[in-house]
Amino acid sequence: MSIQFDITMRPEIRLDAKWLKTDLKRLLYRDGLAELWNEMVRDGEIVGSFSDGLVNAAGVIARKGLSNFTLIIHTSYIHIDTDYILFQRESGHYYCNMGVLTCPCCNGICGPQNGCNCGPCQKLDEEEAARTNVSVEKRKSAEQIMDSWLWGSQPSICDLTTCINLLIKEQRKLCYEVANSTLSATRLRQRLVVARRYFTALSRHKPQETKDVSTTSKPTAKLQKMYNNQP
C-alpha cells in the first residue's frame, strides 16, 4: 500500500516539449491515463521504491553504488567453524558510470560502486537526503508504549494523554491509507500527477511564437494602411 504513497515527481525540463504536445484529454480515459502514467515511470519522472535508478540532470540513469561487506557467522562452538558470507549493501551514493570526472583521485569514471560521483549524481544524493529527512520522523507506536507499561511503573496522566493522541493519529493514518487506496482515489491521484506534469511544462514554457507574430504583424499592418491610403 505504501508504494502508492511513496512516489516523488521529478519533472525534467528536457521532456517538457513532449508534454506540451500531449493531449491532456487522454488522462480522462483509462487506457490513456495508464499510458501517460507508465510513460512517466519509464522516463524516471515518477520515482518510488519500485524504480531502478534515477535519471540525473545529464539525462543518464544513475544507480546506487553497492559495497561488499562480509558477515562472519560462527556456526559451531566446539569446532571453530566460521562462515564468511558476502553481502552487498548500498554505499549511499548515486553513480552513472560515465567517464565525466576530472578529480585527480579517481579514474575519471563516476562509480560504478564507490568513490567520487559527478555533479549531476551528487544532486541526486542531495535530493534523496532531503526526501529521507522529511520521512525520517518515526516515533514509537502506541502499541510499543503500552507494552512498555506492562512491567513498568504506573503511567502518569500525561503519558496516557500522549498515548491516546498517538492512537488517534495512528487510526487517522490508517483511515487515510484505506480511503486513498481505493481504485477511484488511485486513479484520481494518477490523473492529478499527470495533469500537474503537463501544467509544469506549460508554466516553464516561454512562448516565442506570439512574440514573432506581434513583431511581424506590425509591418504588414503598416503596409496595409499605406495601401489603403493610396488613392
- Residues lying near Zn ion in the complex (CB under 5 A) are found at 96, 103, 105-106, 110, 116-118, 121
Q: How far is the CB of 137 from Zn ion (least distance, A)?
A: 30
Q: How far is the CB of 52 from Zn ion (least distance, A)?
A: 16
How many Å apart are CA 120 and CA 82, to the nearest integer?
A: 43
Give 127 or 159: the residue with its C-beta nearer to Zn ion.
127
Give 118 or 201: the residue with its C-beta nearer to Zn ion.
118
Q: Which of 88, 106, 89 is nearest to 97 (CA)?
A: 106
How many Å apart are CA 168 and CA 229, to the nearest integer?
A: 80
The backbone region for 53, taken as left when phi is positive above 0, alpha when psi lies in -120 to 50, beta otherwise, is left
Q: How far is the CB of 96 from Zn ion (least distance, A)?
A: 3
Give 117 or 190: the residue with its C-beta nearer to Zn ion.
117
Q: Quick check: 63 and 94 in contact, CB under 8 A? A: yes
Give 110 or 142: the residue with its C-beta nearer to Zn ion.
110
Give 54 or 201: the residue with its C-beta nearer to Zn ion.
54
User: Residue 114: phi, psi to the nearest 5?
Assistant: -155, -175
Q: How far is the CB of 208 from Zn ion (least distance, A)?
A: 33
Q: How far is the CB of 92 from Zn ion (least distance, A)?
A: 14
SS3 content of the chain, % helix, strand, coil (to 5): 55, 15, 30
Residue 27 is which amino acid? Answer: L
Establish whether the linkage from the previous residue to 112 is cis, with ω within 30° of 0. yes
Residue that has been written with the C-alpha cell 558470507 in this structure:
85
